Amino acid sequence: MNSLNIFKYDLISFFTYTLLVTFGIVNIYSATYNESFTTVIDYTSIVGKQLIFLLACIVAFFLIIFTKNKFFDSISTVLYFISIILLLSLFIFGSERGGAKSWYIIGPISFQPTEFAKLCTALFLAKFLSIIQTDLKKTRDIFIVGVIILIPVILITLQPDPGSALVFFAFIFPILREGLDLKFLYFGIVIFLTLLLTLILGFTTISTIILMLFVLLNLYNRQKKIRVSFTTYLLSLIVFIGVSFSTNYLFENVLEQRHRDRVNLIIGKEVDNRGIGYNTNQSKIAISNGGFFGAGFLKGTQTKGKFVPRQHTDYIFSTIGEEWGFAGSFLTILLFTLLISRISIRADKQINHFRRIYSYCFASLLFIHFFINIGMSIGLVPSVGIPLPYISYGGSSLLIFSVMFFIYLNFDSSRLKED
Amino acid sequence: MLKKYLLISSTIICSVIFIVKLATLQLSADSYFNSDFAIQEISIYPERGLIFDRYGELLVANQPMYDLIIIPENTVEFDTTELSKLINVEEKELRRKISNAINYSSKIPSLIKTQISKEENAFLQEKIWLYDGFYIRKNSVRNYIKPFASNIIGYTGEVDQTEIDAYNYYEKGEMIGKQGVEKYYENELRGEKGSKYFQKDRFNRVIGTYDNSNKDVDPIKANNITLTIDIKLQEYAESLLKNKRGGVVVIEPSTGEILTLVSSPTYESNQFIGQDRTTNFQKLLNDTINKPLFDRSLQAQYSPGSPMKILNALIGLQEKVIDENTTFTCNAGHFYARNAFMGCHNKFGTISDLRKGIYNSCNTYFAKTYKMILDKYKTPSEGLDTWANHIKSFGLGDYLGYDLFIGQKGFIPESDYYNRFYGNNRWGSSTTISNSIGQGEILTTPIQMANFTSAIANRGFYYKPHFVKKINGESIFNEDRVTTTIDKENFEIVIDGMVEVVNKGTARIAKINGINVAGKTGTVENFILIENEKKQLTDHSTFIAFAPAENPQIVVSVFIENGYWGSRWAAPIASLIIEKYLKDNIERKWLENRMVNGSLQSEYEKPYKFKTFTINE
């Protein structure tokens, strides 16, 4: 770090990052715009607060860029446990907002440890997977990885904030990348499909279909003279029917009504644009209102009328859609695609395992946010309350995702070094 | 391989799906959603144009009234019984209106009660704030300052669905001219409404202007209208027609301007304003005996009676079948065909020349003239059509094209009509002899009578009669004169006869000191059907006149239903109107009193008493 050579940094990603953050500020300004208060430099306004956090990001940028990357390796274990403690103590000291106890509020500053846990889990997972002895073919290690991820997931679900907990499934990408057998993925997909189809078609239909498939499979195997033991058949059959059955049970008894509604809405079982479907419907109205070039900055009528709830946080994409139109939305999606792809491609070039796995974890987290947030804004994914990184209002989210990005920049700059 | 590219490929697949979905949302031609709820359009109305009489006297202005409005979404639970008492609307009706408003739109304002008076509003203002979602909006309605000329001015009312569909301009609850000048000059009087746009939020509250008011449209000012009506003369004429049925039309012959147009009985425009307007309208509509909404001057088609003789005299002169010295002998009537006798009130053996024929209104003279006109031609068809052509050149059998939407064509029979009835030319002058004295098939309206009198006064031409003189102070009438088929020189002798009608003939009562009045009386036989039985009623009284005869400034046509004979009601009324217009004060107070106080109501009741009755006495 003696001579600062800026060309060793991933400037394209940095440029993309800057664009996204700037665009975010612009859209938060528009989404919270009020004709009677037009000053930007107001620390109590929403944009003002976001700008303060941006300032914090800039400070963090210099701190992180000039830190030796070895430091993150050594601190990751400690950070992970701190984050778990923070999540745990939420149940005692946390403040409730929107029905979930997921905030620490100290004076004017509020902080969401869930965001912090994303960073720490990524670092700690990278740390564990990079240990030379770790082998994802061993049941013991798979179990440990599962525990690392599930601890924050369970704690966050209990807040209750199942939406944010969902984000941790992003780590399936680095785990697979680091050697988990693909059959886990296939199995997961099959289970997921069974689950989804049970919700749509009902338990009876699905179990009938599963039975018929098994009979067909059996016949096929006999034809081809493939021997499969009867026990395996029976076991798999019980698992599938069991999943299908428990889906019904879980859906009806564990999930709350609002979650059920959101799922029902997406699978098309329910249409209610005034009640439960209001958010998604208003978001779609705003977006379709944008046309090709959009209504223009501060000119979106749906945005101005604040028809979309939480439009400066979770539904910020509706403002982009309305005021910047197809062109702006397209560009936003393009920037995210570029950023995620670039990070994951450059992660592959890392020689150091820890740094590679971390970068990959980060890219995966970005992807899952991108997928869920935009997906719900345009009505493809059930409504889940998570922010769009860099764009949505939210200090914790902006700061943590920026820190994650800066750590990536730091790691990437020394990608050809062993340690 | 799959593991390595799983993240990238997921990202790209998911981006492509997003972009496709975005394209369907944002780029499809018909926007799947609309944003009506985010923008509120409020119409800005220019003040409706004022109406003045010919001398600039204000007849119609505007006055404030108040509307009670509901925005269903903004209401909270409230007691409809209490509100119905407060606003004085039946609860059932109130509930119906509220549910209509909800069905229409829960976010858009709907009218609950319109035209709340100033006094009622003062009381309501103190209470209505207790009801969320209700508010009072100031509105403007007409103020008809004079209770006269209502049949000309007309009235305004709320647009109905047919009008909304037809004009593509109005919205529910807006006002439109429904009758009279208010209707005919609607576009001038209303101006063009403008719009203001406001941004609303999701609670349906207005939070500011939309697009910095750049899309707002300013209203265009309405035009003021000056009528040709002389409101003082109109008022006077209306007073003379009290308790009588009929019409009066007064025209300035040198311009075609209608000075007065009375239909009696009539209504008052103010009856169409305020809370009682609906009941008032129903009452007027249901009065099928007096028919106050029926304009007798424009819509009533009567047989013209003896004034028709003047036209026959002119045609006779033009066709050169008679001249001023032609005489006929009248034996209290004459046989116009074998065993067919037409009576006349002239004594047996009276010998009349043209002038005397006119001032004594001799049936025989004009029956014979008519016969000669038709018989001049080879076939009765040819003869009758020539005659009808002359008649029509005076505007009879025509709507006349004046600037009101109501009217009747009247009827002038032509050869087709009789050919259909009797067979080709199997009829003749004798068959149609009633035309000569204005009975029979001919039908005219009082305004047509005034119009042909105008053509006589002008010695051969008339201007299209009209009601509006100026729009925004600028004259609008620039139509050419309409010439008749009669040569100028043929008029003088006939006009001489008409002057003598007043000086020594049938209408001596119409004589005015110092003014030469030319006129012609008419006594019109008429019939109605009572229980499918044709019954004759007391004759109509009619009179046409112009004055001064040598330089006519005023033309009057009066028609009084069942007024016995021409000089009993119509002639005195016409004469008083002329005196009022030319001299401004009435010397013959006794005559004025007799006309103002006289009533024909008992005459009108006769056929409805279901008893046998006698007429003409």
In tens, the pLDDT along B279-312 reads 999 999 898 888 999 999 999 999 999 999 999 9
Torsion angle in degrees (nearest 10) through CA of B231, B237, B240, B244? -110
A290 part of contact set with chain B, CB < 8 Å: yes
Strands A100-106 and A109-111: antiparallel
Q: How confident is the model at residue A398, as a pLDDT?
A: 95
The CATH class given to the B63-143 domain equals alpha beta
According to DSSP, the β-strands at B246-252 and B554-560 are antiparallel
**pLDDT (0 to 100) of residue A1:** 46
What's the rounded Cα separation, in Å, for the pair A303 and B126? 37
The region that residue B407 occupies, defined by phi over 0 for left and psi between -120 and 50 for alpha, beta otherwise, is left
Half-sphere exposure of A8 (CA within 13 A, CB side): 13
User: What is the tens place of the pLDDT at every residue in B398-420?
Assistant: 999 999 999 999 999 999 999 99
Instruction: State the count of interchain CB pairs (< 8 A) between A and B.
Output: 120
| Minimal CA separation from A96 to chain B, in Å | 26
Residue B260 has a CB neighbour count (10 Å cut-off) of: 29
Mutate to test the interface with A, among B12, B24, B25 (most CBs of A within 10 A): B25
CB A137 within 8 A of CB A181: yes
User: What stretch(es) of chain B map to CATH 3.90.1310.10?
Assistant: 63-143
- Distance between B95 CA and the closest CA of chain A, angstroms: 24
- Residue B36: per-residue pLDDT: 59
Cα-to-chain-centroid distance, residue B600? 24
Please state the domain extents for chain A.
Answer: 6-178+278-381+388-413, 187-255
Nearest chain A CA: its distance from B259 CA (Å):
57
Q: Is A289 on the interface with B (CB under 8 A)?
A: yes
Distance (Å) from the alpha carbon of A181 to chain B's nearest alpha carbon = 10
State yes or no: pLDDT of B528 exceeds 80: yes
Q: How far apart are CA B25 and CA B20, in angstroms?
A: 9
Q: Which carries the bigger pLDDT value, residue B274 or residue A170?
A: A170
Q: Report the gap between the CA of B256 and the closest CA in chain A (Å).
A: 57
Measured between CB atoms, does A191 come within 8 Å of chain B?
no
pLDDT at residue B29 is higher than 60: no
Rounded mean pLDDT of B453-470? 96
Q: Which of B14, B22, B211 sits opposite A371 (nearest CB)?
A: B14
Nearest CA in chain B to A331: B19
Distance CA B357, CA B317 (A): 14
Q: Best of A33, A186, A266, A285 to disrupt the B interface by mutation (most B CBs within 10 Å)?
A: A285
Distance CA B314, CA B247 (A): 26
R_g of chain A, CA atoms, integer Å: 23
Cα(B325)–Cα(B323) distance, rounded to whole angstroms? 5
pLDDT above 90: residue B189: yes
Domain at B231-278+294-608, CATH class: alpha beta
Residues of chain B with CATH 3.40.710.10: 231-278+294-608
Mutation target vs A (from B22, B36, B205, B209; most A CBs, 10 A cutoff) = B22
Give me the tens of pLDDT residue by residue for chain A, a chain 419 residues long.
445 678 889 999 999 999 999 999 999 998 888 766 656 566 678 888 899 999 999 999 999 999 998 899 999 999 999 999 999 999 998 888 877 888 898 877 788 999 999 999 999 999 999 988 888 888 899 999 999 999 999 999 888 888 888 899 899 999 999 888 888 888 888 888 887 888 777 788 888 888 888 888 888 888 887 777 778 778 888 888 888 888 777 777 666 777 777 777 777 666 666 666 778 888 888 888 888 888 888 888 888 777 788 888 899 999 999 999 999 999 999 999 999 999 999 999 888 999 999 999 999 999 999 999 999 999 888 888 899 999 999 999 999 999 999 999 999 998 777 66
Residue B343, strand partner residues: B333
**B21–chain A Cβ distance below 8 A for any pair:** yes
Do B237 and B577 meet the contact criterion of CB atoms below 8 Å apart?
Answer: yes
